Amino acid sequence: MRLARLFPVLEWGRGYGAATFSSDLLAAVIVTIMLIPQSLAYAMLAGLPPHVGLYASVAPLVVYALFGSSRTLAVGPVAVVSLMTAAAVGQVATPGTPEYVAAAITLAFLSGLVLVAMAAARLGFIANFLSHPVISGFISASGLLIAVSQLKHILGIPAAGHTLPEMVEQLALHADRVNWITVAIGVSATVFLFAVRSRLKPALIKLGVNRRLADVIAKAGPVAAVVVSTLAVSQWGLAEQGVRIVGAIPQGLPPVTLPQFDPALWVELLPAAILISVVGFVESVSVAQTLAAKRRQRIDADQELVGLGGANIAAALTGGYPVTGGFARSVVNFDAGAETPFAGVMTAAGILVTAVFLTPLFHNLPQAVLAATIIVAVLSLVDLKSLRRTWTYSKSDFTAQAATILMVLGVGVEAGIVTGVALSLLLFLWRTSRPHMAVVGQVPGTEHFRNIERHAVIQSPTVLSVRVDESLYFANARYLEDRIYDLVASRPELKHVVLMCPAVNLIDASALESLEAIAARLKSAGVTLHLSEVKGPVMDRLRRSDFFEHFEGQVFLSHHQAMEALDPVMTRHASAGPVALVKAMKAGE
């Protein structure tokens, strides 16, 4: 059982048959068609030679098939990780140099080690620390940044920069060097790819084409753009007229490579490797869980760390760069009918055949077409409408999301994600440091207790019932004390305070000291503190301390039980209903 958990292939491979193979093969063909131009384009986005993208799409897919827990996740180069790779490696080496490629390989190896270490420590839960608004903001801002970064290839001009202001400034400075033939190629390819992506499949289905065949034809749009533009460059000699092309691509199997074992380089790249690992893991797990839920399958987050870690190490050992599970290609893989990760193995075989036999065909491929492929892919990830939705629902989440977007665009991808995570945690601490606390009363005719500000309820003059809607820990312990003291000070006739704890899942050491201080201070004022509806695990922790050795109040199973013990007359009449309560009041009870 433990072996099958480490190697999920032992589970899904047991019942593998001809029908499953047929489904996987069709999915592999569709994904391969989509992945070839994307792999070349994303490598260019990372500042690497195009063939590195092909190398990063072979061994990682095979290794993930052995260790990954998702049946349909497609692993390989993705836009956001490519951008982060360019930002990180650009700090330690010059793009276009052997040192740059070696640093990218080292970054992939480090990312793999980080992911495997996280798996060993069972840190799959770390994905929970990246809130959806922060991830949404990060991906949207990265998509915009990537799209703008590709405009230099569409315009045929040199431009650098890692932030939006830098890129815009560079584009403006070199605007007089625009190559209009390149512009024509780039704009035409972009318009064509957008049209194919959004309209071709529905149009084919209306014409009576089989849905699956229509999907294959639509996914082949980038390949068509590659073929037509390459033929145009070759036919009319456009490279001699200033159109930048991919150029010579090495032909053959992915090489066996090793990372650089330079301690200084590792120290410089490690922060980026950690960020790439976390961001890639979160993106991958989000996609994998979404797709698995549609088929009622299960994803093991810790096993995903193993699969992705192995995939990145495999990329480093075969001349690739950091990889993760891609949203677009995984959805395509799922929709195409992939049943098992063996579809990824067959996709890797298709990419391998391309790398060995077909790379000379890409020599005259215009860089503008690859840029168009990237732009069309990443703009689908941009969701600025989510800002309005987040603003309406939660101002604090909007703050974290907006800050992430601004930092990514204005400072860089690494600063953006760190800012988003840090701000989310700080806002969480601020929010929970002032927990919602409600004074409650009994709803007439029931045994329920509700907020006196929201419901028509009955209160006891001698018993103050306070419900705490948050776990108690160091950040809100002092607030709890101050709030209780303020409420007691305004009720001189009080004899008892009952703290309702149905939402309290934790009482840490600081909060425990605050409870002891509250009990002691109330006792000196002639008021007794009680607890009600304390959860079992919280009671277990309280019993491990000496809290009950000097706690003079009681712990009640339910709040109604507490009120029956502390003010039985009011509770009895309130439970009987409003009519009985009025009669009791007239009778002077």
pTM for the model stands at 0.80
User: Would residue 51 count as lying in a domain?
Assistant: yes
Please give the structure tokens belonging to residue 320: 């690739």
User: Would residue 375 count as lying in a domain?
Assistant: yes
Among 43-52, 119-128, 267-276, 475-484, name the one with the lowest average pLDDT: 119-128
Q: Are residues 413 and 469 in the same domain?
A: no
User: Would residue 76 count as lying in a domain?
Assistant: yes
Q: Are residues 154 and 25 in the same domain?
A: yes
Domain containing 452 equals 437-586
Q: Taking 60 as the threshold, does the pLDDT of residue 247 lie above it? A: yes
Among 56-60, 292-296, 436-440, name the one with the lowest average pLDDT: 292-296
The DSSP call for residue 123 is -
Which CATH number belongs to the domain containing residue 510 in this structure?
Answer: 3.30.750.24
Distance from the Cα of residue 558 to its chain's centroid: 40
If pLDDT is split at 50, 70 and 90, which confidence band does 289 have? confident
User: Would residue 432 count as lying in a domain?
Assistant: no
Q: Are residues 482 and 365 in the same domain?
A: no
> CA 222, CA 230: separation in Å to the nearest integer?
12
b/e sequence 312-350, b meaning 16+ C-beta within 10 Å: bbbbbbbbbbbbbbbbbbbebbbbbbbbbbbbbbbbbeb
Q: Are residues 413 and 549 in the same domain?
A: no
With tokens 């994803």, the residue in question is 299
> What is the count of structural domains for the chain?
2
Q: Taking 70 as the threshold, does the pLDDT of residue 107 lie above it? A: yes
pLDDT, position 3: 66
pLDDT, position 420: 87
If pLDDT is split at 50, 70 and 90, which confidence band does 136 have? confident
Task: Provide mean pLDDT across the span 367-385.
Answer: 88
Which of 404, 426, 448 is the last residue before a domain boundary? Answer: 426
Q: Taking 50 as the threshold, does the pLDDT of residue 259 lie above it? A: yes
Which of 367, 393, 426 is the last residue before a domain boundary? Answer: 426
pLDDT, position 283: 83
Q: Are residues 38 and 104 in the same domain?
A: yes
Q: Are residues 384 and 451 in the same domain?
A: no
pLDDT, position 428: 86
Q: Are residues 400 and 486 in the same domain?
A: no
User: Would residue 526 count as lying in a domain?
Assistant: yes
Q: Are residues 12 and 161 in the same domain?
A: yes
pLDDT, position 5: 66
Q: Are residues 213 and 267 in the same domain?
A: yes
Q: Taking 70 as the threshold, does the pLDDT of residue 93 lie above it? A: yes
> CA 184, CA 28: separation in Å to the nearest integer?
33
If pLDDT is split at 50, 70 and 90, which confidence band does 207 have? confident
pLDDT, position 123: 84
User: Would residue 46 count as lying in a domain?
Assistant: yes
Q: Taking 50 as the threshold, does the pLDDT of residue 44 lie above it? A: yes
pLDDT, position 321: 97
Per-residue DSSP letters for 419-473? HHHHHHHHHHHHHHHS--EEEEEEPTTSS-EEETTTS--B--SSEEEEEE-S-B-
Which of 426, 448, 481 is the last residue before a domain boundary? Answer: 426
User: Would residue 381 count as lying in a domain?
Assistant: yes
User: Would residue 431 count as lying in a domain?
Assistant: no
Strand (E) or helix (H) holding 235: helix 221-236
Task: Provide mean pLDDT across the span 85-104.
Answer: 94
If pLDDT is split at 50, 70 and 90, which confidence band does 584 have? very low
% residues pLDDT > 90 (the chain): 60
Q: Are residues 275 and 168 in the same domain?
A: yes
Task: Provide mean pLDDT across the span 193-204.
Answer: 87
Q: Are residues 10 and 139 in the same domain?
A: yes
Q: Are residues 154 and 224 in the same domain?
A: yes
pLDDT in tens, 393-442: 998 899 999 999 999 999 988 888 889 888 888 988 898 899 999 999 99
pLDDT in tens, 512-537: 999 999 999 999 999 999 999 999 99
pLDDT in tens, 557-575: 999 999 999 999 888 877 7
> CA 147, CA 588: separation in Å to the nearest integer?
78
Task: Provide mean pLDDT across the span 507-511.
Answer: 94
Average pLDDT over the chain, rounded to an integer: 89
